[in-house]
Structure 1
């Protein structure tokens, strides 16, 4: 349970950082049909949350690398 709480805390902090400091990137975090589960009760565990956290980190890293000279 602690691992899930840690992952959720990290996701929340990173999302807030993106929302606050990179609003141009934040709009890409909106839910879309690809991220909305098709089942009523999807199985969410630490592996799923870990993958999501890594995807957020990757998105931010890519943004920073491709927009270095714009800040």
Structure 2
């Protein structure tokens, strides 16, 4: 299983790819439910970041 640092690196890379190559999709990332916190101080852990990474991959896959 990946460590948190590698998950965050991959999130950064895919987000940069979307921003650079798919600006119309990048604008919708702010509306993605995965990015909306449900509390004032959400607990962000490895599982949550992995789920967010997978949601980014799915979003890009469906866009393409």
TM-score by length of 2: 0.84
Structure showing greater radius of gyration is: 1
CA RMSD of aligned residues (A): 1.7
The 5 Å alignment of 1:38-53 reads 38-53=38-53
1:1-71 matched pairs, under 5 angstroms: 3-30=3-30, 34=33, 35-64=35-64
Regions of 4+ moved over 4 Å: none
Deviation track 1:30-71 (CA, whole Å, cap 9, x = no partner) reads: 256x4332323211111100000000000000000xxxxxxx
Unmatched 5+ residue regions in structure 1?
65-71
